[in-house]
Structure 1
């Protein structure tokens, strides 16, 4: 039997269980559309239909996607579509994060800047509690992000984050949620090397966000 597994399907353990780059890509595709049919996902991702069906079923079992009936069009039973459940149904903390992000976006003059500043303070606090952790800023960031459930992978092009514990919230309010995470990393890194700058590029790689650490002169 032909094996249709994609080359990018190296399984990793993230905050929400076993996942793969293709699976996260499918999840983000559905979230960006609101809902999608299997055929639409196959077309947009270029993955084999069998691969897409396997990932969709796994996402359904994990509670990250659910099937809904499509609107009836003409005669016959309507087909199925896929949609992501509300953030609070997947992860109660993601629901809380989304509520806070929405509130900040409504009341703050610059919600992204304030979210990032909050993340920096959070990162500094996390780092201050890690007296026995890695002394190197890069290694400490990898260590903390791994514990937080981001499944980091250090590469020549930056740190790839293959998972996100607040993916459902980030898909809705990536500006605020990702700014907090960017600040978190910067706060951690600056605890070891003052002036380090962090840049988080959401959903830039296949099934991953890309994180860059740079020394600011």
Structure 2
């Protein structure tokens, strides 16, 4: 059976990319070599000017780089684009996360009567730890981790922090401009998710819920729609929160 899951991730910038930027970034990562603007435009069905603008935004954020192609005849050779590799330290951390999650999935499947529910609970604990780390780092920097000192901060301030954490974990979150939903364009755990999607996806949902609860927004309702028709996973938040789409 075909599994339309997001592909395995490399580390990405902490801010979410737009859906179109994510599609271009994914195309570059799957390409065997450097790619030109016209080639990318033809591959994704966008105008060359639109593609060029998105590529320059990705270059500015350090996700890709551009280089001159070989000169043939008169005029300057065209720019060609390639993805930037991940840092060794971040790659190691992501590999550790993947290994831990795979072991957890196997263990839950072996001993739990309800692996999916237990996976969500495990993820919630993980998410609360991430929220605690975020609060501690913000406190040391003299910042309010959600921009407010309120006991229950506004969801509009907490949700971007959650999305940033997902980016740091390698999910490359983007924003669907039509719905405002967060689309997970890449998944560092996709290989582990294929044999046990109910466990791996449950952990991811639990992480999001745990971070929300740890940052004081536990009353929000969030659901994960895994492996949607476009080959991504989606986070649906109730009440919905609009995130700006970059690019």
Change (3 A) 1:173 1:86: farther
Change (3 A) 1:42 1:156: closer
Q: Secondary structure at the match of 2:181?
A: strand
- Cross-structure match for 1:49: 48
- In 2, the alpha carbon distance for the partners of 1:155 and 1:51 equals 16
TM-score w.r.t. length of structure 1 = 0.53
Shift of 1:65: 1.0
- Cross-structure match for 1:65: 64
Shift of 1:80: 6.3
Shift of 1:56: 1.9
Between structures 1 and 2, the one with greater strand share: 1
Shift of 1:62: 2.5
Is the counterpart of residue 182 in structure 1 residue 205 in structure 2? yes
- Cross-structure match for 2:22: 24
Q: Is the 8 A contact 2:17 2:175 kept in 1?
A: no
Shift of 1:142: 1.9
- Cross-structure match for 1:199: 224
Is the counterpart of residue 160 in structure 1 residue 182 in structure 2? yes
Change (3 A) 1:64 1:119: same
Shift of 1:48: 0.7
- Cross-structure match for 1:100: 96
Q: Secondary structure at the match of 1:87?
A: coil
Q: Is the 8 A contact 1:186 1:197 kept in 2?
A: yes
Change (3 A) 1:123 1:107: closer
Q: Is the 8 A contact 1:141 1:185 kept in 2?
A: no
- Cross-structure match for 2:159: 142
Q: Secondary structure at the match of 1:63?
A: coil
- Structure of greater relative contact order (alpha carbons < 8 Å, 6+ residues apart): 2
Shift of 1:137: 10
Shift of 1:32: 3.6
Shift of 1:87: 1.7
Shift of 1:199: 0.9
TM-score w.r.t. length of structure 2 = 0.48
Q: Secondary structure at the match of 1:184?
A: helix
Unaligned segments of structure 2, at least 5 residues: 1-11, 109-115, 136-144, 168-172, 194-199, 239-247
- In 2, the alpha carbon distance for the partners of 1:146 and 1:41 equals 27
Unaligned segments of structure 1, at least 5 residues: 1-13
Please, what is the CA RMSD of the aligned residues? 5.3
Aligned length: 187
